[in-house]
Amino acid sequence: MSQQSAKGKNRSAMPRRTWTMQEEQSLIMALKDIVHRGWKCENGFKTVYLATLENSMAQSFPGTDLKADPHINSKIHVWKKQYRSLSTMMSRSGFGWNDSSNTIDVFDDQVWQEYIKTNMNARTMRYKAWPFWIGQSSSVKIVRPVKIQRHSSMLSMITNEQ
């Protein structure tokens, strides 16, 4: 068996890790920090950014089990997919935003059923809260930690979308 297939097999046997809100906010702040330090390039981040993020998370949460790979890399990958889905939804008619609960409003169940036919990744997103998504009542739709200015779009920063 090759090393890569053994690695993949071990990973699938591992239980999924659930991130806390504080861990997600800390990761967002660490990402903002490396962007501020110039680690973001046109096509993403410089090569050792995951190790830097892992070190930052270890400083914020001593004794944490969060590792660059698979945890941080996977979380960023998931955020990118969620950002694309949320952006697409908010650009379509039939979708809205509930500012008080930070959830997606769908004006008709048929709209939702049609949408998830085209984006299966979104099927679990309907009733989930999105505390880092802002721009609900404006034309700007970005993701950010709760206490960060509107121009600091975390997920658009990660996905290279403006």
Cut 0.85: pTM above it: no
* Residue 128 within a domain: yes
Give residue 12's identity as a one-letter amino acid code. S
* Residue 72 within a domain: yes
Distance between CA atoms of residues 24 and 45, nearest Å:
18
* Residue 145 within a domain: yes
Tell me the per-residue pLDDT of 64-122, one tens digit each, with 9 for 90 and over. 999 999 999 999 999 989 888 998 998 999 998 888 888 899 988 999 999 999 998 89
Using a pLDDT cut of 70, give the percent of the chain over it. Answer: 73
Phi then psi for 103, rounded to 5 degrees?
Answer: -125, 165
Q: Residue 26 belongs to what domain range?
A: 19-159
* Residue 6 within a domain: no
* Residue 3 within a domain: no
Tell me the per-residue pLDDT of 142-160, one tens digit each, with 9 for 90 and over. 343 333 333 334 455 555 5
* Residue 46 within a domain: yes
The 3-state DSSP class for residue 64 equals: coil
The 3-state DSSP class for residue 117 equals: helix
Question: How many structural domains compose the chain?
Answer: 1
Distance between CA atoms of residues 145 and 149, nearest Å:
9
* Residue 124 within a domain: yes
